[in-house]
C-alpha cells in the first residue's frame, strides 16, 4: 500500500516503463537496443578563457575519480588511456627551447608557432624525424626543435610497457613567419 501511495505522488513524467534488463522501453527517438557502454567524459574549463594550472589540476583529479576511463587489457593493468586537451603552455615551452636539448632556441610569441607530439618506434625514430623534417620543409614549415618528452613508465602495465612508444615533441612555424622573425631579431641585436 505504501508503494501505491508513493507511485501516486510521483508526477507522471517520472514514470518510466522498464524492460526486464532494467533499461527503459523504446520511446520517441530512444531505442534501448542501441545502448552502448561508453567511457566517461568530463569538462573542466575556465569560463573567462584565462590560462590556469587549476584547470589542469582539476582535470587530473576528475580523471582519477572516474570509475571507467577506458578498456582494460588482458593484464588488467593496461588501459586505453585518458587525456587532457589544454592550451599551449608558452612559458613551459619557452624554457624547454632554451634547454641544452634544444640548443637555446628562442621561442616565437604565442600564436606564432605550432607544436605536436609524435609517438615513434625507438628503433626508427631518427629516420622518421628526418622524413618529417623533409615533409615540413616542403610545406614551408621550419622545425625549431625536437625534444624527448618526460614520461613516468612506472605506471604502465606489462602490455603497455612492451609497446611503449618513443614520445617526441616538435615545435614548428611557417617559414614566412620565420623570415620576418629572424630579420626583426637581427635588427634588434645587430
C-alpha cell at 135: 615533409
What DSSP character marks residue 13? G
| Predicted local distance difference test score (pLDDT) of residue 67 | 61
Distance of CA 182 to the CA centre of its chain: 32
Statement to judge: residues 72 and 118 lie in one domain: no
Q: 45 lies in which domain range?
A: 20-87
- Domain boundary, last residue among 72, 87, 102: 87
Statement to judge: residues 44 and 130 lie in one domain: no
- Strands (E) located in the chain: 114-120, 141-148, 166-174
Statement to judge: residues 34 and 67 lie in one domain: yes
Statement to judge: residues 62 and 80 lie in one domain: yes
Altogether, the residues listed in the chain come to a count of: 190
Catalytic residues: 39
Whose cell is 604565442? That residue is: 110
**Cα distance between residue 103 and residue 107, in whole Å:** 12
Closest by CA position to 69, among listed 102, 92, 40, 46: 40
| Predicted local distance difference test score (pLDDT) of residue 74 | 65
Statement to judge: residues 67 and 128 lie in one domain: no
| Predicted local distance difference test score (pLDDT) of residue 50 | 83
Statement to judge: residues 109 and 135 lie in one domain: yes
- Per-residue pLDDT in tens (0 to 9) along the chain, 190 residues: 555 554 445 444 456 788 888 888 888 878 888 877 656 677 888 888 888 889 889 988 887 777 655 566 666 777 666 778 888 889 988 998 898 888 888 888 888 888 999 999 999 999 999 999 999 988 888 899 999 999 888 888 888 888 889 999 998 887 655 445 445 555 555 4
Contact between 175 and 108 under an 8 Å Cβ cutoff? The reply is no
Residue 129: inside a domain = yes
Question: Beta strands 166-174 and 141-148: pairing type?
Answer: antiparallel
Total domain count for the chain? 2
| Predicted local distance difference test score (pLDDT) of residue 132 | 92
Residue 1: inside a domain = no
**Cα distance between residue 190 and residue 74, in whole Å:** 62
Phi and psi, residue 177, nearest 5°: -65, -40
Amino acid at each position: 500500500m505504501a508503494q501505491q501511495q508513493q507511485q501516486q505522488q510521483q508526477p507522471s513524467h517520472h514514470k518510466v516503463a522498464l524492460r526486464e534488463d532494467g533499461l527503459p522501453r523504446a520511446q520517441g527517438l530512444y531505442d534501448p537496443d542501441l545502448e552502448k557502454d561508453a567511457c566517461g567524459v568530463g569538462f573542466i574549463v575556465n569560463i573567462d578563457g584565462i590560462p590556469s594550472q587549476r584547470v589542469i589540476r582539476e582535470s587530473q583529479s576528475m580523471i582519477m575519480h572516474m570509475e571507467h576511463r577506458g578498456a582494460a587489457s588482458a593484464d588488467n593493468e593496461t588501459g586505453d588511456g585518458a587525456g587532457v586537451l589544454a592550451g599551449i603552455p608558452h612559458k613551459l615551452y619557452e624554457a624547454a627551447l632554451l634547454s641544452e636539448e634544444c640548443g637555446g632556441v628562442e621561442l616565437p610569441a604565442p600564436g606564432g608557432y605550432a607544436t605536436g607530439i609524435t609517438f615513434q618506434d625507438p628503433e626508427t625514430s631518427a629516420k622518421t624525424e628526418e622524413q618529417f623534417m623533409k615533409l615540413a620543409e616542403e610545406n614551408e614549415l621550419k622545425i625549431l626543435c625536437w625534444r624527448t618528452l618526460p614520461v613516468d613508465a612506472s605506471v604502465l602495465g606489462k602490455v603497455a610497457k612492451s609497446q611503449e612508444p618513443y614520445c617526441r615533441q616538435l615545435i614548428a612555424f611557417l617559414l614566412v613567419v620565420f623570415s620576418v622573425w629572424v630579420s626583426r631579431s637581427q635588427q634588434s641585436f645587430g
